[in-house]
Amino acid sequence: MAESKVEPPVKGRKPESHLGMVRRARKINRELAEVYPYAHPELDFENPFELLVATVLSAQTTDLRVNQTTPALFAKYPTPEDMAAAVPEELEEIIRPTGFFRAKARSLIGLSIALRDNFGGEVPGRLVDLVTLPGVGRKTANVVLGNVFGVPGITVDTHFGRLARRFGWTTDEDPVKVEATVAEIFPKSEWTMLSHRVVFHGRRICHARRPACGACPIAALCPSYGVGETDPEKAAKLLKYEKGGQPGQRLKPPADYPGEPAPPAGTVTVEVSG
């Protein structure tokens, strides 16, 4: 299914002014806040180092797979000092299920050495420092800043980029440009939670291949309504995670998460997307 380009909103089909788009974008954010009041990072972590490592591991795999892998990893290497001294082959073996395990092991050992040698063994709380760490780009840095340091950040992953284009917020494919454009639309205080809500929506309802338009609570605000399944009954069957009555991705979800925790490694898992 082709991804939609920017079109006028469904209602009226009139050309939309920039101000109209901004108002509609903010309304989408408010609606998503009601649909996902419990939106959160879907990686399990207990401190900044764990979130940094988990985010690096999450490239090209699901958060569920990472969450099933990190308990053993953090049991063996709980601190940057421990991970910096890891035998590469042993670390690779633990993270193998997340894919690209040799490159990821190099990044994890490299960033741990940098944390140990340049930052006193602590994860720095500034973007300019975080992006100097091996394997850490703007997306990873923003995840860490927003979720452990309270520094607002927009996290443009594959879901956020796709939905921002479907919502008509941008036509850009480049994540850095998407981030800059969306940052102009929303106040800074909204950036982190907006990111979680949009990613939640992309994983549960507005999927890459078959968006469940017929079961979408923001359909009236979306210019791309109709790129996916519009039949309500068929669309309801496409819903994922707690919206589809399935487990989530976190083994340790926050207390307000309405779904079931994800199954640990080695048990039967549900099919997940992103």
Q: Residues with catalytic annotation?
A: 139, 157
Q: How far is the CB of 272 from ligand SF4 (least distance, A)?
A: 18
* Minimal distance, residue 180 CB to ligand SF4, in Å: 22
Rounded least distance, CB 205 to ligand SF4, Å: 5
Nearer to ligand SF4, 96 or 210 (CB): 210
Determine contact, residues 239/252, Cβ cutoff 8 Å.
no
- Whole-angstrom Cα distance, residue 53 to residue 57? 6
Q: Which is nearer to ligand SF4, 225 or 241 (CB)?
A: 225
In the chain, % helix, strand, coil (3-state, to 5) comes to 50, 0, 50
Torsion over CA: 49, 55, 61, 64 (sign): positive
Minimum distance, C-beta of residue 155 to ligand SF4, in the bound complex (Å): 18
Q: 50 Cβ partners below 8 Å, 6+ apart?
A: 44, 70, 74
CB of 247 to ligand SF4, least distance (A): 22
Longest dimension (CA), the chain: 62
Residues of the shown chain interacting with ligand SF4 in the complex, contacts defined by CB under 6 A: 166, 205-206, 211-213, 216, 218-219, 222, 224-225, 227-228
For 197, phi then psi, to 5°, come to -65, -45
CB 194 within 8 A of CB 29: yes
**Phi, psi at 117, each rounded to 5°:** -85, -30
Distance CA 128, CA 55 (A): 17
Return left, alpha or beta for 155; rule: phi > 0 is left, psi -120 to 50 is alpha, else beta.
beta
Question: How far apart, in whole angstroms, are the C-alpha atoms of residue 199 and residue 168?
Answer: 16
Of the pair 7, 82, the CB lying nearest ligand SF4 is at: 7
